[in-house]
A = this chain, B = another copy of it.
Amino acid sequence: MLLSQLIGERYREKPGDATMASHIFMLRGGYIRQVASGIYTLLPPAKRITAKIEAIIRQEMDAIGGQEVLFPVVMPAELWRESGRYDSIGSELLRMRDRTGHDMLLGMTHEEASVHLARSEATSYTRFPFMIYQIQTKFRDEPRSRGGLIRVREFTMKDAYSFHTSQEDLARYYEICHKAYERIFARVGLPGIVSVKSDTGMMGGKVAHEFMLLSDSGEDSLVICPHCGFSANVEASPVRAAHEERPSRPVRKLETPHCKTIDDLCALLGTTPDRTVKACVFAVEGRRKPVVVFIRGDFEVNEAKLRQRVGADVFPLADSASCPDICFGFIGPVGFSADADVWFDATLEGEKDMVCGANEADLHLSGVDMTPEGLGANWPAGFFDLAKARAGDVCPVCGKPADLRRGIEMGNIFQLGTKYSASMGYTYTDADGKPQTPIMGCYGIGVGRLMAGICEEHHDDYGPVWPISVAPWQIHLCAIGGAKDPAVAEAARQLYGELSARHEVIFDDRNVTAGVAFADADLLGVPVRVIVGRGLGRDGTVEVATRDKSYRENVPLDGVPAAVEAQIARLTAEIG
């Protein structure tokens, strides 16, 4: 391809609203253009990259027995009413009416469509297990898109759905898919992606993992233990609090006027938050009774965990408008008698001599023990893990200090169970002729986000450094000064023909300065660069270099193809 014909202007200025490297370089390099908030057109370099990513994904999905299908983008509301998601999902699901007045929607994932297909095609146990997948456009009406292709409304996604006759078989295949994901990420140049346990959220199901690219610009917080390898999304990470043994002390009632926060309380009493008990109140979707969570004062409640535990969505309450019998600011576990569901977080287990609210305005208690004696009638049946992991916490597995890192989600896998198959009435006949409900897994990778993630991981100050497996071209050929020196132009043209026969070559045939040519080459990030210029007249050589700066050599003109070949082979081998 001739660079002079490539559609997509490149420019030097930093786009005003972009902060992430991938966003900046993909705008500056002519990869993407915004059409509306979170809706982009992909230009030729981006389309070439995504095509390669898709080919790698396809190979790995086929290798684990995946069968490619294509579900519709536009689906009838009926299907989503069957699963219950038409009503349970909010405004990120884009709904519309067709010309005949039927409720339709734009697919954000395709569990419903996959069950719709499978329930007519696989009705005997002999057909199981199987996995179907597609690579297709999806729409999710995100309230705030950000970071170019990192968080968008319209996106191309590989989504896969597997169907099984037992939980064991799902767990077995889930592992196979986990390994396929590791291969995919390694092949696109992201071997460092970590899989972390995640919250299953609106997808339902019990076990889920996210594949995270560690990056300071990521939106997700991850607990990662450098000692034992444990990793989890903060949303899903168990919390193990460091615990200080203290003797019991007598209970005293303290005047604490206007001390409604843990900070106020600690300032007044000269204590620290880890020696206090905090109460957090939540309304629960569809229920009258609120939930009260008692937790150690230095922790926050993880709403994702609470949602899982309660089995419904929860919303923090800040005052007693909807629960007049709760004394906000002074709630405590001793003598608490309001009409609420009460949970005790595991951070409180075994703590002694704590300060907590006295359930009366402007009063607290000190010397409260989290023991049957200390809590009396309110001693709970159990302590549950409801806290949000913090930097500096110890690893919940090995007990050594864990890291808190930021990450960008590049893919996810879920053990869905029977959420969709049961709600949509999908059964198959087992070996005994009895109807059974299939057990499902689902597996997603966002293609555009993966491209952006590769750029986040592989760039320098001047542009992307695309791994050779996904680069838009393998070779960037420049003719510097070709307009003045016919020998340069002719040599470059010949090389273009020769190299194009075996590789994808972008040929900068323009009459521009070396500065412009190199800046553009940096923005296109092509792995191997061939520069025909002054060296040709000087000593008959051409410069061959790699974008990642690992190699640079002046090569005699007739040695260029071999030198290029060697570098392509080396870079390819490095990806593995």
Q: Using a CB–CB distance below 8 Å, which chain A residues touch chain B?
A: 1, 4-9, 30, 33, 35-36, 39-44, 46-48, 50-51, 65, 67-76, 79, 91-92, 94-96, 98-99, 102, 104, 106, 113, 116-118, 120-122, 126-127, 130, 132, 134, 136-137, 139, 141, 143, 153-154, 156
Can you list 6 A-B pairs with a CB-CB distance of less than 8 A? A5-B127, A7-B117, A8-B121, A46-B70, A47-B70, A92-B99
A104: B residues at CB distance < 8 A: 36, 94
14 extra A-B contacts, CB within 8 A, seeds A33-B121, A36-B102, A48-B68: A7-B127, A9-B121, A35-B72, A39-B75, A41-B69, A41-B71, A43-B117, A43-B121, A47-B69, A72-B154, A73-B139, A94-B104, A98-B153, A99-B143
Q: How far is the CB of A3 from chain B (nearest CB, A)?
A: 12
| In the complex, chain B residues whose CB is within 8 Å of the CB of A132 | 7, 44
Q: Tell whether, in the assembled complex, residue B69 and residue A43 are in contact, meaning their CB atoms are under 8 Å apart.
A: yes
Residues on the B chain within 8 Å of A5, using CB:
65, 67, 127, 130
Asked whether B9 lies within 8 Å of A120 as measured between CB atoms, the reply is yes
A143 to B102, CA, bound (A): 13
Evaluate contact between A69 and B42: CB separation under 8 angstroms. Answer: yes
> Would A7 and B96 count as touching, CB distance under 8 A?
no
Residues in B neighbouring A41, C-beta threshold 8 A: 69-72, 113, 116-117
> What distance in Å separates the Cβ of A363 from its nearest Cβ neighbour in chain B?
45
- Distance, CA A141 to CA B102, complexed state (A): 12
**Distance, CA A69 to CA B134, complexed state (A):** 20
- What residues on B are CB-neighbors of A48 within 8 Å? 68
> In the complex, what residue of chain B is closest to A78 when comparing beta carbons?
B36
Measured CB to CB, the closest approach of chain B to A449, in angstroms, equals: 14
Considering only CB atoms, which chain B residue lies closest to A48 in the complex?
B68
A137 touches B35 (CB 8 A): no
Give A477 to B141 CA distance when docked, in angstroms: 47
The reply to whether A137 and B47 form a contact with Cβ atoms under 8 Å apart is: no
Q: What residue of chain B has the Cβ atom nearest to residue A142's Cβ?
A: B99
B67 touching A42 by the CB < 8 A rule? no
CB contact under 8 A between A106 and B7, given known A30-B121, A96-B94: no
Q: Are A44 and B71 in contact (CB under 8 A)?
A: no
